[in-house]
Structure 1
């Protein structure tokens, strides 16, 4: 059970990282963008760490206060929840 949870956590964070890259490229090319609601859904479902890294790496959404501060805060909350869950499951 723990291996499945860790695998899903890694996959969603990789997806979040690449979603930020894809959205940044779409912004540069003036294409239809990924909605902020979609980005937040991925972040809420334990993808905030990958999205925060993507935001910093690709310099994307860094001027949006909700992303600039919200994603790192959500990342810390998710890390806390994960640590709590690991203590319960182990």
Structure 2
């Protein structure tokens, strides 16, 4: 079930990014940022999993969450499933999904000029 939810979330993100870059105001650089941060998140999860296996220094969870909230959550999702890492810690997963929601809200805000106009305060 989780794999289906993850696949759906990534599919929605890719669809929205395609729409936002082709027909809205979002710059193509957003695609590169998501790709780069996703790759970075994937590598961080891989390194943390290896460190856990070898009983070495671990990557702080806040670092993993920061990478996700900045746009690396698709790579983090793939890494969680690929490495079966951080999938049993309920608190981590709740915070992770919170970072996904925050990131998507920021993305929608950046890609919607009408929303910027609504948020503008005229003093």
Do these two structures clear the TM 0.5 threshold for a shared fold by scoring above it?
yes
Give 1 or 2 for the bigger CA radius of gyration: 2
Whole-Å separation in 1 of the counterparts to 2:63 and 2:103: 18
Whole-Å separation in 2 of the counterparts to 1:54 and 1:60: 7
- Bigger relative contact order (CA 8 A; separation at least 6): 1
Cα deviation, residue 84, structure 1: 5.6
Structure 2 residue ranges without an equivalent (≥5): 1-25, 114-123
1:30-74 superposed Cα distances (whole Å, 9 cap, x missing partner):
111111111111111111221121111101111111333332453
Q: What's the counterpart of residue 75 of structure 2?
A: 50
Structure 1 residue ranges without an equivalent (≥5): none
TM-score (norm 2): 0.59
**After the TM superposition, which residues 1-90 of structure 1 pair with which residues of structure 2 at under 5 Å, given as runs?**
2-75=27-100, 77-79=102-104, 81-82=106-107, 85-86=110-111, 88=113
Alignment: residue pair count: 88
Whole-Å separation in 2 of the counterparts to 1:82 and 1:42: 15
